[in-house]
A = this chain, B = another copy of it.
C-alpha cells in the first residue's frame, strides 16, 4: 500500500512553544518512515491547504527541525481564519479534501485552540461524507488555557512564567523607588475572555505584601470604589501598590474597560490598553505617581523565559499526535492529564474532537479570593507546576539563535481556488485580537 502523506498546520495566535509541538510531531513522524510518506506544513495555517501552499519539510535539515523546539512564533505561518459551518460553506471543506487528495494526504494534524479543534472535527466529518479516508487529529495550543478536557494547554505555562517573573522584577523596581517616586505600577496582560494569565501573575506573590498586590480578572466586574480603597490601603501599608490587569476586565455593564475611557484627538475611542485607563482612574482619585506597562505580544513570544514543563508538554503532544495516528485513531486530540500534584506528574490522555470543540474552560471562582482581587491557594497549587523549570534557547551575538526555515513550497497540482479566494477579504472572520 502506498504510504500516505502528512499535513500539519498551525492556527490562531501563536505561542512560545507551538513550534515545539511541530518539532515533536515531525521528529516522531520521521522516526516512522515505514508508515508515513512526506510531511507537509500549511503556509499560514489552513489557508495553506485552501490555496495549495504546502511547505515541503523534506527540504529542511534535521538541525533546523530540532531548532523548532526552542523557536517561538509559528514557523510556517499561522492564521486567524475560521471555516464557516458545513452548511454555509461546504465548498471550502470540499476544497480541503481535494487538495489533500491531490497530494496524497492521509493525515491532517491541526494545532490550535477551540476554533481549530472545531475545524478539525468538521474536516473529519466531511472526509467521511466524501468517502475520502483521512486521519484527523487536533493538537492543543492556546496561551489562554481555556480548552476543555485537558488539565492545561501548551503555551499557557510559558506566558504564566513570563508574567509572574515580570511582575516580580518590576515590583522590586517600584519597591525601591516608592519613597520618593512611583507608588503604583500597573501591568496589563492578555486574556480577553478568561483570567488564567492574570491569575498566573499571582504566583509571584509568595508572602504577604509581595507583588502583585492586586489582580483584576475578566471574571470579576470592576468595582472602582472597592478598587480605590484597596489601592490606597496597600500604599499605606507597603508604601506602594503593584497591579496586574487582564485586558478583558469589564465594568458592571459588561463593557471592556479598555473601550470605555480614552478618546483620541478626533473623539474616537482609543483602541486597546486597559492599563492606561486604570492609571488614569488612580491619578484622578488618589493622585499617586504611577507607571504602567502593556506586555502584549512580548508575553506570548517570550521563548527566552519559557517554562520547561510547557516545552516538554508541547513536544509530547506533537509526538502523541503521531502515535495516535500510528494506532489508527482519528477525530481525537491528545490531552494533558495531571496524575499527581506533589510531586507534579502528568501523562498524555485523549479527548474526542467532537466534545472539545467550542467549549471554554473558565477560571473557577474558587481560584479567586473572596474579595475578587487575588488568587487562592487552590489556584497556586494548580498553577505552580506549569511554570516549573527553565529551558533556555542557544544564544549567538547576545541574542537567542532561533531557527528560520526555508519553507519551500511544493508544486501546485490544482487550479486556483477562485470562488473563495475572490471572496476571501470579505469572508475572513477575525476570531479575536
Residues in A lying within 8 Å of B, measured CB to CB: 10, 13-14, 16, 44-45, 47, 71-75, 77-81, 161, 164-166, 168-170, 172-177, 179-182, 185, 187, 203-204, 206, 261-266, 270-273, 275-276, 279-280, 283-284, 289, 291-298, 300-305, 307, 384, 387-390, 392, 395, 397-400, 402, 428, 430, 433
Nearest-neighbour CB distance to chain B for A402, whole angstroms, equals 7
A399-B271 CB under 8 A given contacts A173-B72, A297-B291: no
Count of identical protomers in the assembly: 2
Chain B contacts for A402, CB-based, 8 A = 168, 172
Q: Is the CB of A399 within 8 A of B74?
A: no
The answer, among B289, B297, B398, for a CB contact under 8 Å with A173, is B297
* Cβ contact within 8 Å between B384 and A298: no
Q: Are A179 and B79 in contact (CB under 8 A)?
A: yes
Across the interface, do A301 and B172 meet the contact criterion of CB distance under 8 Å?
A: yes
**Do A398 and B392 form a contact, CB below 8 Å, given A172-B71, A291-B296, A294-B293?**
no
A265 to B180, CA, bound (A): 29
In the complex, chain B residues whose CB is within 8 Å of the CB of A289: 430
* Chain B residues near A169 (CB-CB < 8 A): 16, 72-73, 298, 301-304, 400
Tell me whether A276 and B283 are in contact (CB under 8 A).
no
Q: In this complex, what residue of B is CB-closest to A309?
A: B398
Q: In the bound complex, what is the Cα–Cα distance between A164 and B77 (angstroms)?
A: 22
Contact partner, A397, options B206, B262, B294, Cβ 8 Å = B206
Nearest chain B residue, comparing its CB with the CB of A48 = B179
Q: Which residues of B contact A177 (CB under 8 A)?
A: 13-14, 74, 78-80
B contact residues around A384 at 8 Å (CB): 397-398
Q: Please tell me if the beta carbons of B173 and A14 are within 8 angstroms of each other in the complex.
A: yes
CA distance A305 to B115 in the complex (A): 35
A61 to chain B, nearest CB (A): 19
A387, B265: Cα distance in complex, Å:
39
Which of B174, B395, B399 is A204 in contact with, Cβ under 8 Å?
Answer: B399
Interfacial chain B residues near A187, Cβ < 8 Å? 298
Inter-chain contact A298/B170, CB cutoff 8 Å? yes
A143 nearest CB across to chain B (Å): 11
**A73 closest partner in B (C-beta):** B172
Q: Given the interface contacts A270-B280, A399-B203, does A297 sit within 8 Å of B170 by beta carbon?
A: yes
Partner of A301, one of B170, B300, B390: B170
B398 adjacent to A388 (CB under 8 Å)? yes
Instruction: Report yes or no: B293 in contact with A173, Cβ–Cβ below 8 A.
Output: no
- 28 CB < 8 A contacts A-B: A45-B180, A73-B169, A73-B172, A74-B177, A77-B176, A80-B181, A165-B304, A168-B400, A168-B402, A170-B301, A173-B300, A173-B301, A180-B428, A185-B297, A203-B398, A206-B397, A271-B283, A272-B276, A272-B279, A291-B433, A293-B295, A293-B296, A294-B294, A305-B305, A388-B397, A389-B398, A390-B392, A392-B392
In the complex, are the beta carbons of B261 and A168 less than 8 A apart? Answer: no
Known: A164-B398, A301-B172. A265 touches B261 (CB 8 A): yes
The distance from the CB of A247 to the nearest CB of chain B, in whole angstroms, is 11
